[in-house]
Amino acid sequence: MAIPTSIISAFALIAALGYSLNQMTMLALTLMVGIVIDDAIVVLENIYRFVEEKGMHPFSSRD
């Protein structure tokens, strides 16, 4: 959900501000997508670690 949302909003913002898609803009968008994907992988790894190491059920609460 995060990747398509961020890409669509970035292109909408570029169009709204009247910028062109030059090489620097495309490089920035590529880096943005890479950072979002990297953060998503870190979150998934932490969830997996909590489930495996602590024996927690994925949908259980801390109560």
Q: What pLDDT tens digit does each residue of the chain (63 aa) get? A: 777 887 888 889 888 998 888 888 888 888 988 888 899 899 999 888 888 887 777 675 665
Q: Per the structure block, which two tokens stand in for 55?
A: 């024996």
CB 11 within 8 A of CB 20: no
Q: Per the structure block, which two tokens stand in for 5?
A: 């949302």
Q: How many domains does the chain have?
A: 1
Question: Whole-structure pTM over 0.95, yes or no?
Answer: no
Domain boundaries, position 22: 2-54
Query: Position of tokens 């990297």?
Result: 38
Say what the pLDDT of residue 12 is. 92
Is residue 60 assigned to a domain?
A: no
Is 7 exposed, middle or buried, given 0-12, 13-18 or 19+ CB atoms closer than 10 A? middle
Report CA 43 to chain centroid distance, whole Å.
10
Is residue 10 assigned to a domain?
A: yes
Is residue 63 assigned to a domain?
A: no
Is residue 49 assigned to a domain?
A: yes
Is residue 32 assigned to a domain?
A: yes
Phi, psi dihedral angles at 12 (to 5 degrees): -65, -40
